[in-house]
Homo-oligomer: A and B are copies of this chain.
Amino acid sequence: MIYDPKYENKLRESGLRPTKQRIKICEVLFNSTETFHFTIKDLVKIIENQANIKVSLATVYNTVHAFNKKGYLKEIPINSSQSYYDTNISHHHHFFDEDENKLIDIDQNDVDEVMIKKTIPGKKIKSIEVIAKIVTDN
| Cross-chain contact B97 with A131 (CB below 8 angstroms) | no
Contacts of A120 in B (CB 8 A): 95, 97, 104, 134
A39 to chain B, nearest CB (A): 12
A127 at the binding interface (Cβ < 8 Å): yes
Contacts of A42 in B (CB 8 A): none
Give chain A's interface secondary structure class.
Answer: strand
Extra A-B contacts (10), CB below 8 Å, given A126-B132, A127-B133, A131-B131 = A76-B79, A77-B77, A77-B96, A78-B79, A112-B114, A122-B137, A126-B135, A127-B132, A128-B130, A129-B132
Which of A's residues lie within 8 Å of B, judged by CB? Answer: 75-79, 83, 93, 95-98, 104, 106-107, 109-112, 114-118, 120, 122-137
| Cross-chain contact A111 with B114 (CB below 8 angstroms) | yes
Q: Quick one: given A97-B120, A124-B137, are A131 and B79 in contact (CB under 8 Å)?
A: no
Complex Cα gap A30–B117 (Å): 29
Complex Cα gap A133–B125 (Å): 6
Question: Among B76, B78, B136, which residue has its beta carbon within 8 angstroms of that of A122?
Answer: B136
